[in-house]
C-alpha cells in the first residue's frame, strides 16, 4: 500500500489495523535479524494496553461539545489520539492551558503538564470535523514512519 495514494474515504479501522500490523511486522523482522527468541519480545498493540502514555492533540474545543451538552457550565475539551495504539479520546486540559493542535502530550500516570485528566475513549463519529481531518494527517504520518 503506497502511503501517497491513501484516500480520505479509506476505512479508518482498516487503516489503523494495518498500521498496528506494520509495527508488529517491523518488530518481528528486528527479532529475526537480532536472533532473539520470539517468546522474549513484546509487541506493541498486538494486545492493546488499557491506557495510552502519549497522545497527539487533534482538536481543542474551548467551550466543549456544543450540541451534546446542555449544561451552562461548559468546560474546555481536547480531542486526541493515542500514539501507541491510536485510541481516540476526550481529555480535559489543565486550567489556563491551551494545547497546540498536533502537539504530543503526556497522559500517563505521572505528572502531566497539559492534560488534567482523560475523560473517556470516544468513537470516530464523535470527533469534531477538524479532529477528523487532523486524524487523517496523523495516521498518514504514523504510517509513513513505520514504513521507513
Q: Where are the domains of the chain?
A: 45-146
45-146 belongs to which CATH class? mainly beta
**Residue 10 pLDDT more than 60?**
no
Instruction: Provide the grid cell at 118.
Output: 482523560
d(CA 3, CA 6): 5
Query: Residues 102-139: pLDDT tens digits?
Result: 999 999 988 999 999 999 999 999 999 999 999 888 87
DSSP assignment of 106-141: E-SSS--SSEEEEEEE--GGGS-HHHHHHHHHHHHH
Average pLDDT over residues 29-36: 53
Assess whether pLDDT exceeds 80 at residue 36: no
Cβ neighbors of 146 (< 8 A, separation 6 or more) are 19, 22, 23, 26
pTM over 0.85: no
Q: Per-residue pLDDT for 33 more than 80?
A: no
Amino acid at each position: 500500500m503506497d502511503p501517497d495514494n491513501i484516500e480520505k474515504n479509506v476505512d479508518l479501522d482498516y487503516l489503523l489495523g494495518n498500521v498496528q500490523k506494520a509495527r508488529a511486522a517491523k518488530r518481528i523482522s528486528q527479532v529475526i535479524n537480532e536472533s532473539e527468541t520470539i517468546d522474549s519480545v513484546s509487541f506493541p498493540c498486538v494486545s492493546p494496553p488499557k491506557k495510552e502514555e502519549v497522545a497527539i492533540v487533534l482538536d481543542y474545543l474551548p467551550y466543549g461539545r456544543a450540541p451534546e451538552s446542555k449544561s451552562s457550565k461548559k468546560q474546555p475539551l481536547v480531542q486526541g489520539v493515542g500514539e501507541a495504539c491510536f485510541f481516540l479520546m476526550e481529555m480535559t486540559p489543565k486550567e489556563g492551558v491551551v494545547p497546540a493542535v498536533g502537539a504530543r502530550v503526556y497522559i500517563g500516570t505521572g505528572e502531566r503538564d497539559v492534560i488534567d485528566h482523560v475523560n473517556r475513549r470516544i468513537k470516530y463519529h464523535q470527533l469534531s470535523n477538524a479532529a477528523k481531518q487532523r486524524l487523517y494527517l496523523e495516521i498518514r504520518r504514523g504510517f509513513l514512519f513505520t514504513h521507513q
